[in-house]
Amino acid sequence: MITYIIRRTLYMLPLLLIVSLLSFAIIQLMPGDYLTRSRLNPDVTQETFDRLAERYGLTEPFIVRWWTWLVGIVTRGDFGLSFETKRPVYFTLFMGNRLWWTLLVSLTTLILTWVLAIPIGIYSATHQYKTSDHVLTFFGFLGLSIPNFFFALVILWILVAVVKIRRFGLGVSGLFDNQYVEAPWSLAKVGNLLWHLWPAWVVIGTSAMAGLIRLMRGSLLDTLALQYVQTARAKGLKERVVVYKHAVRNAINPLVSILGLQLPNLVAGSLIVARVMNLPTVERAFFTSLQAQDEFVIMGGLLFFSLFLLLGNLIADILLAWVDPRIRYT
């Protein structure tokens, strides 16, 4: 198992290398470059822009730039400077605890989604085609089908224009209300944070839940139809034991692989909600760099997300081996 993990980790290096080359090439396909956006500024002459392009290395062929960038990483651990902020890439992407806020938002959402989706899936499977199954499925799909940005705006609009939360001195979007931004941590401040996070949980959660519910429901239905479940029932076990001890434990395998694959979603999966709800997440910084064609920040972000994807895959495989004794890696 250890050798397997080590081997898989080593495989990641060439993979990341190829990912970086491909990403670099794709970035070059974007029209223009970092400077194009500002070239319509009448105050600055085109000669000045041309000089800047040369200074930023934008006039060199992309393979040369990719190589210079790679050499910087390998020899100095230098991922380059952001054109926009003139700060190192990792600072531009992660400053202000962005990574921790991202993980906090995504992890809490993930946990909430799973804690709700699995019991609902089980309930749906054990109450197949009953009214309650249809109602739950309907709401699951409703959440899936409303576009996130729209749903997020609608929630905020309802709070402001319908509920009129200013009567209660509450605010919308961001992490805190104005009066808590600079206040030291307290119970009230945590409460205020929760008030600001719940709309994000609802929006991201509802969009992810429907799929999980269907998966759990389908997987459990398959398992419940198997012969060993029939045997368990035949020998007189209680229905609760049949379902939870025998069926669910086997039906949950596909969800475990999904869990691993959701790891990259922790850092990249809530962009739209984060933009509307004003949450300080890594992918918002990444999105800003995309809009500005801030090349090295885009590359840094892509590498970071790819790394999470690879790690997620690895963790999924390990988890699977752990929950399912039939799977063994050598």
The answer to whether 283 and 1 are in contact (CB under 8 A) is no
DSSP state of 184: P
Examine residue 173 and tell whether it contacts other proteins (CB under 8 A).
yes
For the bound state, the minimum distance from the C-beta of residue 285 to other proteins, rounded and expressed in Å, comes to 8
Examine residue 91 and tell whether it contacts other proteins (CB under 8 A).
yes
Instruction: Using the minimum distance from each CB to other proteins, give the nearer residue, 52 or 315.
Output: 52
H helix intervals, the chain: 2-29, 46-55, 62-76, 89-94, 98-126, 131-145, 148-157, 178-181, 187-224, 227-234, 239-241, 249-251, 253-261, 263-267, 271-277, 282-292, 295-323
Examine residue 86 and tell whether it contacts other proteins (CB under 8 A).
yes
Instruction: Using the minimum distance from each CB to other proteins, give the nearer residue, 176 or 308.
Output: 176
For the bound state, the minimum distance from the C-beta of residue 194 to other proteins, rounded and expressed in Å, comes to 17
What size, in residues, is the chain?
Answer: 330
Nearest to 300, CA basis, from 102, 107, 80, 49: 80
- Residue of 9, 41, 59, 132 that binds other proteins (CB under 8 A): 41
State which amino acid sits at residue 254: P
Examine residue 36 and tell whether it contacts other proteins (CB under 8 A).
yes
Examine residue 38 and tell whether it contacts other proteins (CB under 8 A).
yes
Neighbours of 325 (CB within 10 A): 7
Per-residue CA distances from 148 to 57, 152, 266 (Å)? 39, 6, 16
Examine residue 157 and tell whether it contacts other proteins (CB under 8 A).
yes
Examine residue 147 and tell whether it contacts other proteins (CB under 8 A).
no
Examine residue 184 and tell whether it contacts other proteins (CB under 8 A).
no
Examine residue 81 and tell whether it contacts other proteins (CB under 8 A).
yes
Examine residue 154 and tell whether it contacts other proteins (CB under 8 A).
no
Examine residue 146 and tell whether it contacts other proteins (CB under 8 A).
no
* Burial tier of 141 (Cβ tally within 10 Å: 0-12, 13-18, 19+): middle
Examine residue 254 and tell whether it contacts other proteins (CB under 8 A).
no
Examine residue 96 and tell whether it contacts other proteins (CB under 8 A).
yes
Examine residue 137 and tell whether it contacts other proteins (CB under 8 A).
no
Residues 298-317 binding other proteins (CB under 8 A) are none
State which amino acid sits at residue 173: S
Instruction: Using the minimum distance from each CB to other proteins, give the nearer residue, 257 or 288.
Output: 288
Nearest to 224, CA basis, from 326, 138, 118, 128: 128
- Widest distance between CA atoms in the chain: 87
Instruction: Using the minimum distance from each CB to other proteins, give the nearer residue, 193 or 237.
Output: 193
Q: Which residues bind other proteins (CB under 8 A)?
A: 30-33, 36-49, 51-52, 55, 81, 84-87, 91, 95-96, 98, 153, 156-157, 159-161, 165-166, 171-178, 181-182, 275-276, 278-281, 284-285, 288, 293
